[in-house]
Chain A
Amino acid sequence: KEKHKILHRLLQNSTSPVDL
């Protein structure tokens, strides 16, 4: 997970594409 922290963070974000 540490290795893929951005993907992990983006998936955990509750909102979708607008949430940049």
Chain B
Amino acid sequence: LPHKKTYPCRTNVENKVVSHLLEAEPEKVYAMPDPALPDDDIKALTTLCDLADRELVLNIGWAKHLPGFSSLRLADQMRLLQGAWMEVLLLRVVFRSLGAQDRLVFAEDYVMDAAQARLAGLPDLHAGVLQLVRKYRAMGLEMEEFVTLKAIALANADSMHIEDAEAVQKLQDCVHEALQDYERARHPGDPRRAGRLIMTLPLLRQTATMAVRSFCSIRQDGRVPMHKLFLELLEAN
């Protein structure tokens, strides 16, 4: 998979952390639903779980690009990812869906409307994620803000078992400061914008918790094949 790409610098804002996060943004992933399967809930859920598993691999690679993440103790790196993996996955879906009307863009080749979500047995989750989409759309969420928020969500995972809390706090402060710097330069007339973005994180956390619960129950049901990394992270919750 090719990784590196450059984003056009849309602003004259030179924030190193934000630029670095833009560079680290993973390539898009395609869902590639299995054409041999009948169009039912199992196919939809199998497609979503497979897509999530592949995105997780990329997200772990992405996390390593966050300034300071790789210097954390390995145990703490694991705990942050175990705490925030679903928030990171959802935020990516939300950002991809900003231009879609009441539909979730899980991938370019996998877009789900409310009727399809009902068929998949995920109507509440679909509605919850759309609430986030509407919130960010109303704010005009920018790519730079999206990548920074994603990093903040990871650094803000609130694991109870962090070994070196000071180092994690430093990572959190670094990305928080990057967001504040970016907003000061990009939206000088809106001093509350960084705060308002951070205040969307509770809804993201709440929606991610709902998603993890849904997939835990799907797992218990045992009808949908799930890859190992996805299972590992589901178990971590």
Contacts and interface: CB of A to CB of B under 8 A. Distances in A.
B1 A6 contact: no
Interface string B111-130: 00000000000000000000
A3 B78 CA distance: 12
B64 A4 contact: no
Contact of A17 (B1, B228, B229, B233): B1
B196 interface: no
Interface stretch (B55-63, B101-109, B135-143, B197-205): B55-63
Contact of B74 (A6, A11, A18): A11
Interface of A: 1, 3-8, 10-12, 15-20
Contacts of B75: 1
B147 to A, nearest CB: 14
B232 A4 contact: yes
Given A11-B64, A17-B61, A18-B1, A6 B78 contact: no
B57 A20 contact: yes
Given A12-B74, A17-B1, A6 B232 contact: yes
Contacts of A12: 74
B3 interface: yes
Given A3-B232, A16-B62, A8 B3 contact: no
